[in-house]
A and B are shown apart, each in its own frame.
Chain A
């Protein structure tokens, strides 16, 4: 158990819909990361927050947005869903930022768009 909690674990929704994925970081961790993993794209970095502020942005679509709340939990909002958005979405957390930090991953949220 990494200490990172993600909900829901599985989600099936229709194209055009909107979903919200939730993440609680490890106790004491200030940084939250979101990754998307699909068979053809591997593990792709989406966005990172540190202590409530956006710190880095990766390959995140405009239809996607995220935020980190004062209690440090984070949400990833996916809207106007397309079939290609079907993937495993991971949240991860670390205490700080930068290359010296260990990142701990949650078990992921499986999203299937039909």
Chain B
């Protein structure tokens, strides 16, 4: 079975500081990995994804994540936080085969302090 664990349900950073949101996955087959962002009263929006190829993937709004198979991790980073980054972030994993079900983590709420 596939699963994801997000460490820290709440993370606070100062504006301009590094953002690091942690995600570890468990999958018996090569995974597809995703980060989604949810702004208040909105649906989830894809930030970035890893399927195959380059392990460092870049997404929207300056975010990036690195797939590390040896560590079973897919942490999300951004060099400099902006106030508009305040939102909830979800890591998700899906089998690379035809099975389309995605397992989401419990989410991390990011607070950006001015």
Does chain A bind chain B? Answer: no
